[in-house]
Structure 1
């Protein structure tokens, strides 16, 4: 069916027409530019609410156009090296953690094979699109012959799209908050590999949303018990009373890709927790 034409002139038509007007002092003035085509205007402080809305809408609309209904989230460190590059690692700990690159890659491969059974619409791998664990996730999806999503963000260093993100599903963000929304809006599982501040932020954001009932419960799988128990003492939080003992059930530890896939496949959905004031 042909696309229905709107009786009014559309924005692209007027944008193109505005480029061929006579060159005068009036048409060269910033005030004359079409508001939606005026980059300087769009970047003004007062336009922040509009930019927030655009960052929410653009990936949402494009993922809808590709028919993607659910995702499997991979969080993890940008500095985790490929196993063959451990000699370049900054610390021995990073070198020792390199095997999680292979686990993330294999996990993404296995999940993508299952996703392809749905036509690649369900349980699509999504990462931050950068190096390290993120690269491994997108690479594993490519190994399986499927597509994957990359949610990149503008940073001074470390964060450029890796070569394995599906190009038409590679997005770039300015606002961390909107980026995190897109990680979780379609999430059917959250897999967290060793990482730094960004990984911790993403983990605790996810746990808080589930704990407070603002998000449906999904499997939250922490790869590498030894790492996490060395870095974070969840039991101490429960002993102190700052979280409940039942909050320790919001996540599970896993070591290998196949184990994580099995836990996701056998997951029984439970209702979201009641949203109670003062939780967390």
Structure 2
């Protein structure tokens, strides 16, 4: 049939995308006129936790049976946002949260000295002073980490991707590295962890690049997915955990080797005796060479560049194998 103005006019217009002229029956609750109890019954149904959408039901997501989903979400949120932000390469910095900048550390020493002067027989106070003095002596590494962050932050990667500093997001050595990178004008990443007591991120992380993880395992994975080097300052259990995890992954070739630099040979030589482990036969001599020591920021950076030059790899090239 030939098209005419008359039959063309009878063809319907496209329907509206999100509205209707007449609402569907299910879009209108049963009225009080039909059943005076209906509004209250409907309210009770809709207020029930079981009526929530699954992805909006926090109680449901926190159940033990949903751990697999939580693990997936813990991984995927950070992965998606890091890709979206163009973060391709990182220098990971670990270190103790209890080592503040020198002015803060030495001010605490002076306060404790004053307290000891008024209570000379308080052995507990003397111990606190001794520990504070040791922390203050190590606080020089805050300045080293800060300067190293500045050096890394000044490096421009291909396609506009910077070689970003990634830390655990906390205070101390991690704060120093984030701070230095921020001062250089670079974006800088913090991978924080959810703990029973509230943990605050340090203020020098790029706001859109601070992530909070539920699981340590997924946080560790994200530390290494883009890592081009691991720089470890003096620290405690958490620092040792991340260090030995990385050394084990390199030892077993579960990840492609990256340079691992321990800053502060005096500290690390006492924290763990690598030669003792080798002499006892629990590691091989080649495992002794998975890391080395450094003291200053420029030395750390030069060592990283030298390692990549010797391996013939590009510092900002994609890794041959990402961690599983």
TM-score by length of 2: 0.74
2:108 to 85, 88, 109: 88
1:205 equivalent in structure 2: 245
1:199-238 alignment runs, 5 A limit? 199-238=239-278
Cα deviation, 1:189-243, whole Å, max 9, x if unaligned, reads 0000000000000000000000001011111000000000011100000000000
Per the TM alignment, residue 120 of structure 1 is displaced from its structure 2 partner at its CA by: 5.5
Contact persistence 2:229–2:258 (CA under 8 A)? yes
Query: Which ranges in structure 2 are unaligned for 5 or more consecutive residues?
Result: 1-16, 18-27, 30-38, 110-127, 314-318, 320-324
Q: Report the equivalent of 1:29.
A: 48
Q: Who is 2:121 aligned against?
A: none
Match of 1:263 among 303, 318, 324: 303
Quick one: structure 1 residues 70 and 220, their matched pair in 2 at CA, closer, same or farther if it must change by over 3 Å? Answer: same
User: In the alignment, which residue of structure 2 is the partner of 1:4?
Assistant: none
Shift of 1:82: 0.5
Q: TM-score, normalised by structure 1?
A: 0.85
Question: Which residue of 1 is the match for residue 5 of structure 2?
Answer: none
The counterpart of 1:109, out of the listed 126, 137, 150, is 150
Structure 1: gaps of 5 or more residues: 1-8, 10-19, 273-280
Which of 72, 89, 98 is residue 139 of structure 2 equivalent to? 98
| Residues 11-62 of structure 1: CA deviation (Å, up to 9, x unaligned) | xxxxxxxxx9875222222221111111111111110110010000000000
**Does the CA-based 8 Å contact 1:78-1:158 persist in structure 2?**
no
User: Equivalent of 1:125, from 150, 165, 169?
Assistant: 165
Question: Which residue in the other structure is 1:73 paired with?
Answer: 92
